Chains A and B, each alone.
Chain A
Amino acid sequence: MSLKIYFPENKFLLLTTLLIFATATMVFSQAKKPTIMVVPSVNWCDQNGYTYQYDVQGRPQIMPDYDLAMAKSTELKLVIAKIAGMMGERGFPLKDLEATLQSIKNLAAEDMVTTSRSGAEIRESPLDQLRRVARADIIMELTWSVNKRGPFQSVSFILRALDAYTNKQIAESVGTGPENGSATIPILLETAVLANLDNFNNRLQDHFDDMFTNGREVSLRIAVFDSFEKDLDSEFNGSYLSDIIEDWVYDNTVMGRFSLSNATENMMVFEQVRIPLFENDRAIDTRNWARGLSSYLRANFSIDSRVVMRGLGQATIIIGER
C-alpha cells in the first residue's frame, strides 16, 4: 500500500534525477568544435592575379593575397557567402575570411598605439607576430575555373577540406556543372555550390564520426632548449627520456595509436596521434593533453618544459625550461 502511495513521487524523483544527469552529460561532454574557414586556393589566386611574390634564398615564392582577392573579386565573395550560409544551416557557422583579415589589421593598429601610463608598450614576441595570420582548424580550399565551348559555358569546381594541423585532406567535392548558353557566371557558380556541398558535408561527417570513435588526430613535437644540460637519450631513473615520453604517449592515446616518425637525441616527432576527446567528462584539446606530459615530466623526473600550441591540433613541448 505504502509502495503504491509513494511510487509516483519516487518515479518523479527518479525521472528528475535522470533528466538532470542527462542534461549535465550533454552540457559537459561536448567536444571542442573546430573552426572552419573558406579560402581561395593558391592556384585560383594565381590564375586571377591575386598573389604576391618574395624571394626565399633566391627562389621566388608565390603567396596568395587574400586581401586583394576579397577586395576585387565579387564572384569570390558570392561563393564564400553561399557556402557560409549553407554551412551555417548545417550547424557550422564559418569563420569569415574578410572579417578575420580586417580584425587582424585592426588589432595590429590598436596594439601599435596602446601604451600604459608609464609609456610601456604591449609586449609581443617574434612568435606572436608570426602567428598574427588568419587561421582556422579546418580550411575549406576553393578552386573553380570557367570552361568555354562556343557560346556555352560551364564551371569546374573543387572544394577541399584540409585539416590545418595534420595537413590531411579530410573531405572533397569535385565536379563540372552542365553547359549552359545563357546563364551568367555567378548563376553557374551558385549552381556548382548547391550541387556539391551535400557530398562534401557527407565526407566531413565521416571525418567527425571517425574522430568521435578513434579520437582526434593531432601531432606532437618534442624539442630541447640548448640550455638543457641533458638530451632525449639521457637516462632518468634507469630509462631513456625518449622511452619515457613514448611510453606516456602510448598510455594516453586512444588504443595506443600513434606513429613516431622521427627521433634523434634532440627531437621527436609524433604523428597520427589519436588523443581522446574527453577526459573525466571534460573536453580536451591538444594543449590540455600535452600539458599532461609536461606535468608528468616535472612531477616524476623534475624536468621543466614549455608547451607551445598551434590551434587545436599541434603541440610542441620544449624541454629544459618553462
Chain B
Amino acid sequence: MKTTRIIIVLALLAGCYTTSALAQKKEDFSIGNYEVQFIRTGVEGTILFKIFSYGKNYDKALENAKPDAVKAVIFKGIPGSDLMRPMVKEYEISTSQRDFFEDFFSSGYYLNFVSISGDGSVDPRDVLKIKRRQYKVGVVVSVQKNNLRKYLEEVDIVKALDSGF
C-alpha cells in the first residue's frame, strides 16, 4: 500500500514536472533581446553583421548569438542593409507558425543558415559585463539569407514573390 502511494506521488510529481517543462519550452521561444550592427552584404545570398547577445555568463551569451542572428534576420531585419524589412512580422505570427518556430529553434535546424564569421574569436572590446549575472557579447555572424528565405517559403511561413501567379 505504501509502495503504491509512493508510486502515485512520484507519478504526480513527474506529471507536474513534465507540464512545467513543456510550459517552459513554450515560453522559451521569443523574438529575443539583442542588437545588430550591419557590416556588409557578403558573398551572394549571405549577409554579414555583428550581433550583440545577452546571457547570464560569457558562454551563454555567445551560445545565444547564432539563434539571435537568425531571429534578427527573420523578425527584425538588419538596419542599413538590403534586409531592412523583416521576413516575418512579429505581430502577424499565428499559433501554428509559433509552433513551427519553436521546433525550428529548439531542434537546432536554424544552424543550417548561420555561422560565426572568421575564426570565431571575440574582440575583447565586444564583451561587456552589464550586471552581476548578465553579459553582453558581440560576435560577427554570416547568415545565409537566400537559403533561409527559400526554406521559409517552402514551409509556407513566408510568401514567395511569385505566389498567386
Among the interface residues A31, A32, A198, A205, which one has the most CB atoms of the partner chain B within 10 A?
A: A198
Q: In the complex, which range does the number of interface residues on chain A fall in?
A: 20 to 34
Q: Give A39-77 interface residues, CB cut-off 8 Å to B.
A: none
With A194-B41, A196-B82, A198-B83 as contacts: A33 and B165 at CB distance below 8 Å: yes
Task: Report chain B residues within 8 Å CB of A194.
Answer: 41, 44, 82
The distance in angstroms between the C-alpha atoms of A202 and B159, with both chains bound, is: 11
Contact among B81, B84, B145, B160 with A91 in the assembled complex (CB-CB below 8 Å): B160
With A31-B165, A33-B165, A89-B146 as contacts: A197 and B82 at CB distance below 8 Å: yes
With A195-B82, A202-B85 as contacts: A90 and B161 at CB distance below 8 Å: yes
Q: Looking at the assembled complex, report how far the CB atom of A155 sits from the nearest CB atom of chain B, in whole angstroms.
A: 13
Contact among A92, A195, A197, A198 with B162 in the assembled complex (CB-CB below 8 Å): A92
Q: Looking at the assembled complex, report how far the CB atom of A105 sits from the nearest CB atom of chain B, in whole angstroms.
A: 30
B40 within 8 A of A: yes
The answer on a CB contact under 8 Å between B162 and A91 is yes
Using an 8 Å CB-CB cutoff, how does the interface string of B147-165 with A read, 1 for contact, 0 for none? 0001000000001111111
The answer on a CB contact under 8 Å between A30 and B85 is no
The answer on a CB contact under 8 Å between B164 and A30 is yes
Q: Number of B interface residues at 8 Å Cβ cutoff, please give it.
A: 18
The answer on a CB contact under 8 Å between A204 and B161 is yes
Task: Report chain B residues within 8 Å CB of A16.
Answer: none
Contact among B145, B163, B164 with A198 in the assembled complex (CB-CB below 8 Å): B145
The answer on a CB contact under 8 Å between A90 and B83 is no
Task: Report chain A residues within 8 Å CB of B146.
Answer: 89
A191 within 8 A of B: yes
A199 within 8 A of B: yes
Q: Looking at the assembled complex, report how far the CB atom of B89 sits from the nearest CB atom of chain A, in whole angstroms.
A: 12
Q: Looking at the assembled complex, report how far the CB atom of A216 sits from the nearest CB atom of chain B, in whole angstroms.
A: 11
Contact among A34, A199, A205, A208 with B84 in the assembled complex (CB-CB below 8 Å): A199
B84, closest chain A residue (CB) = A199
Q: Looking at the assembled complex, report how far the CB atom of B129 sits from the nearest CB atom of chain A, in whole angstroms.
A: 33
Task: Report chain B residues within 8 Å CB of A236.
Answer: none
The distance in angstroms between the C-alpha atoms of A212 and B85, with both chains bound, is: 21
Using an 8 Å CB-CB cutoff, how does the interface string of A92-111 with B read, 1 for contact, 0 for none? 10000000000000000000
With A195-B82, A198-B82 as contacts: A178 and B40 at CB distance below 8 Å: yes
Using an 8 Å CB-CB cutoff, how does the interface string of B79-95 with A read, 1 for contact, 0 for none? 00111110000000000
The 7 closest A-B pairs by CB, nearest first: A91-B162, A33-B165, A198-B82, A90-B161, A195-B41, A199-B82, A202-B85
Residues of A within 8 A of B (CB): 30-34, 89-92, 173, 178, 191, 194-199, 201-202, 204-205, 208-209, 212
11 cross-chain CB contacts under 8 A: A33-B165, A34-B165, A89-B146, A90-B160, A91-B160, A92-B161, A195-B41, A195-B81, A195-B82, A202-B85, A212-B164
Having A89-B150, A208-B161, A209-B159, one finds 16 other A-B pairs with CB under 8 Å, namely A32-B165, A90-B161, A90-B162, A91-B161, A91-B162, A92-B161, A173-B82, A178-B40, A196-B82, A198-B82, A199-B83, A201-B161, A202-B85, A205-B159, A205-B161, A212-B164
